[in-house]
Amino acid sequence: ETGVTQTPRHLVMGMTNKKSLKCEQHLGHNAMYWYKQSAKKPLELMFVYNFKEQTENNSVPSRFSPECPNSSHLFLHLHTLQPEDSALYLCASSQATGGYEQYFGPGTRLTVT
């Protein structure tokens, strides 16, 4: 495995629920990312964190709220989602400086009912 873990692996939630996705990297990296992978669409970058600071928000709706308490952990808080938010949510990590390679976790398969 890649050293990036995500929990839960599967999540079903109603449109009024609040849930959180968790990502942890064991690679000593200091940049972390959230991506969305929908059927028949390319992977879409959502957020980038460098040294715990958010440096990129790719016009993501406010019903997705990221949190990065330290360089090893990343959360995605979800509330009042829509059915079209059903997708595979992938976390990745990399070195923030001098490094290019991004390493992905296995993803959380989210279904919004």
Q: Pick the stretch among 12-20, 50-58, 59-67, 75-83 that binds other proteins (CB under 8 A).
A: 50-58
81: tokens are: 């989602």
Residue 26 Cβ, how far from other proteins at the closest point, in Å?
Answer: 14
27: tokens are: 């690679």
100 in contact with other proteins (CB under 8 A): yes
Rounded to an integer, what distance in angstroms lies between the CA atom of residue 28 and that of residue 62? 29
The answer to whether residues 45 and 56 touch, using CB atoms and an 8 Å cutoff, is: yes
Please report, as ranges, the residues that interact with other proteins according to CB under 8 A: 2, 4, 31, 33, 40-45, 48, 50, 55-56, 90, 92, 94-107
